[in-house]
Structure 1
Amino acid sequence: MKFAVIVFPGSNCDIDCYKAVEDTIGQKVDYVWHTATDLSDYDCILVPGGFSYGDYLRCGAIARFAPVMNEVRKAADAGKYVLGICNGFQILTEAGLLPGALLRNNGMKFRCHATELEVVSNNTAFTNQYALGESINIPIAHGEGNYYCDDATLAELKANNQIVFRYAAGANPNGSVEDIAGVSNKQGNVVGMMPHPERAVDQLLGSEDGKRMFTSILNAWREQHGAAINS
């Protein structure tokens, strides 16, 4: 399996994503610059956190126009796996690949700490190694992580089982609607989340609960290609 980590000017979690793939599941991974016009060699696209283009205008608003985003859309439409983390989630919503928007945290402060999440859906390529309803510890680091969507979109998310993660009851750090921390597209091959699983792949980092996101992706890909992962 081959991974691409998209790099925008201002990305700062690209190395974390690269190392998570390399060290956790030992698969091929490349950094891909935002001007790239071909992602056909890759099976999974990671859109990392950071401050793409300095977060000017609003988070992700400029990055969504980068040439590589046309290729990310093609990959998503082809059923390949796309994961947007933090700023990557913001970019995917700006690009219309995921519903909703990310607003300023309700406390108007940057929040950086461990968070407890509930796995709401384990029916995606990114969560198949988790138990439904499982509590996991994944850190956050964001100033605009307040997920918002209108009532009609929220009803659709629920009806299609597109809510992937919620912050644990009483632990919502940003005011996001119904404690939503991550969502998917209808097909389940595109997921965006504000917490950082790539920063939770080893107990030295305080948690290894993010590790199973990467083993889930590999498992889904191998099943798709006729060989389940040995774990």
Structure 2
Amino acid sequence: MTVRIGVVTFPGSLDDRDAQRAVRIAGAEPVALWHGSHDLEGVDAVILPGGFSYGDYLRSGAIAALSPIMTEIKDAAAKGMPILGICNGFQMLVEAHLLPGGLIRNDHQHFVRRDQKLTVENADTAWTNEFTRGQEIIIPLKNAEGGYIAADETLDRIEGEGLVAFRYAGVNPNGSLRDIAGLTNPAGNVVGLMPHPEHATEPGFGPDTAAAMRSGVDGLPFFTSAIAAVARVAA
């Protein structure tokens, strides 16, 4: 079967084409979806890409979270469809209450861009099943409002239920509480993170690594994991 993964474009999206390319490299069919539509076009999974939807007015992702297609995405998520939010997409997921907490301006008040080391904390989700728990990966990061926050009781619940998907390693680039870089929902089908795995899927275009410059492909398992998860459900 050919797995079809939708990538939603919002006004101000700028990594939607990169996400589509990553899907294609991973072996699935990318499907362009429009924020104003109520039709998911029969896709098997959905990616909310990075960018500056609606110019990041109000709070990043707050307006996009109210877009027509988000109604369909919430319904699909409740039924188990794999949903991935990358950077601005992660912000949309928390604004839509598909993931807990919130994201605020970086504690140093500057835009940050770096090749970021992450530790995989949960390898049992639809988007992380081809990693191993404790694995360290390098994924490009670029954000101005990437500081993850939540109330202490929420943070304790997230930790206790194993909902931290990724944690910053080596350095915390934006002041995120407990070094949280990404989360999953309890069902494991909805995942959001601030770093950009779609920028680390092809040799020669990924982050710098110890092996060689621009060689990292640590983002590719995000997309192949989703393909495998969909295939298992269909089997």
Tell me the TM-score range normalised by the shorter chain. over 0.9
Residue 11 of structure 2 is aligned to residue 9 of structure 1:
yes
Rounded Cα–Cα distance in structure 1 between residues aligned with 2:84 and 2:62: 18
Instruction: Provide the aligned C-alpha RMSD in A.
Output: 0.9
In structure 2, the partner of 1:93 is: 94
3-state SS in 2 of match to 1:117: strand
Report matched runs for 1:1-231 at 5 Å.
1-25=3-27, 27-39=28-40, 41-168=42-169, 170-205=170-205, 206=214, 207-226=216-235
CA–CA distance in 2 between the matches of 1:136 and 1:56?
32
Cα separation, 2, equivalents of 1:123 and 1:30: 25
Which runs of no fewer than 5 residues in structure 2 stay unpaired?
206-213
User: How far off its partner does 1:24 sit?
Assistant: 2.1
Kindly state the Cα deviation for residue 38 of structure 1 after the two structures are TM-superposed.
1.9
Unaligned runs of 5+ in 1: 227-231
Please give the secondary structure, in 2, of the residue aligned with 1:96.
coil
- Please give the alpha-carbon distance, in whole angstroms, between the structure 2 residues aligned to 1:3 and 1:24: 11
Q: Which residue is equivalent to 1:229?
A: none
User: Following TM superposition, by how much is the alpha carbon of 1:222 offset from its aligned partner in structure 2, in angstroms?
Assistant: 1.2
Identity across the alignment (%): 46
Q: Check the 8 A contact 1:116/1:136 in 2, yes or no.
A: yes
TM-score calculated relative to the size of structure 2: 0.93
Q: CA shift at 1:203, angstroms?
A: 2.6
Give the Cα–Cα distance (whole angstroms) in 2 for the partners of residues 19 and 117 of structure 1. 23
- Offset of 1:187 from its aligned partner? 0.8
Equivalent position SS for 1:204: coil
Query: Secondary structure, in 3 states, of the residue corresponding to 1:116?
Result: strand
Superposed CA deviations along residues 105-134 of structure 1, whole A, max 9, x for unmatched, are 000000011000000010101111111100
Instruction: Report SS of the residue matched to 1:59.
Output: coil
Moved over 2 A (4+): none
On the 8 A contact 2:31/2:43 being kept in 1, the answer is no
By how many angstroms is 1:177 displaced? 0.5
Q: For each residue in 1:9-57, what CA deviation from the matched residue of structure 2 results, as whole angstroms up to 9, or x when unmatched?
A: 00000000000001222x2221111111022601101000000001011
